Structure formats: structure tokens, C-alpha cells
Amino acid sequence: MGDEIATVRMPASLDTNSAGVTLDELDGAINRGATKVVCDFSRTDYISSVGIGILMVAFKKLRKSGGELILSALKPKVRSVLDITGLTKIIPIRETASL
């Protein structure tokens, strides 16, 4: 397995309305063989419990295959929600989307 990196730009609101498209983009990156998927949150101002669920699905799929999900460019409000849920303890965070 190579070290294929894919970056997926998260929507302005990661919620029920954007869930399907976002999950499709994450699944597509994983199915194309990405071993590291970077979620670029630079334009995301809101994340709901549905959005958190999507991140967990992608995290588990990648982990099962030896890959890694990385969150990047988190705005303070989104970071706070992810801190409360404990995701920032299990998913690596980067300041920018570039590795």
C-alpha cells in the first residue's frame, strides 16, 4: 500500500444537507486508494452530529485498512465541537491542509 494522500474540502456547514455529498467524496478518496485523507475545514463554520458521524465512518474505514484520517484548518467553533466529542483525541489535527 502506497502513501497516497487525498484532500477533501469540507462544506461551509457539515450537516444533514451536505452529508451525502461529503460522504461520497470521502468514500471516493478511500476507494481510489488514498491511505491518508485530509479533511480541509478552512471554509467550515458549522458541524452537526451528522457531520461528526461522517468523520467517524471515514476514520473507521481508513483505520481498518491501515490508513489515516487527518483534520486540518479547523476554525475555533468547529474545533470546540470536535474537542467536546473527543474526536480531537483520536484523529490527528493539522494547522493547514498540506502535509
Three-class secondary structure assignment of 46-93: EECHHHHHHHHHHHHHHHHCCCEEEEECCCHHHHHHHHHHCHHHHCCE
Tens-binned pLDDT, residue by residue, of the chain (99 aa): 457 999 999 999 999 999 999 999 999 999 999 999 999 999 999 999 999 999 999 999 999 999 999 999 999 999 999 999 999 999 999 988 776
Q: Where are the domains of the chain?
A: 5-94
* pTM of the full structure: 0.93
Phi, psi of 22 (to 5 degrees): -65, -45
* pLDDT given for residue 96 in this prediction: 82
Give the helix/strand (H/E) hosting 17.
helix 16-31
pLDDT of residue 71: 97
Q: Is 23 helix (H, G, I), strand (E, B) or coil?
A: helix
Residues 37, 69: Cα–Cα separation, whole Å: 5
- Assigned CATH topology for domain 5-94: Transcription Regulator spoIIAA (3.30.750)
Q: Which residues are bridge partners to 93 per DSSP? A: 71
pLDDT at position 99 is 63
Give the pLDDT confidence score for residue 2 in this predicted structure.
Answer: 57
Q: Burial, 34: exposed, middle or buried (Cβ in 10 Å; 0-12, 13-18, 19+)?
A: buried
How far apart, in whole angstroms, are the C-alpha atoms of residue 6 and residue 58?
13
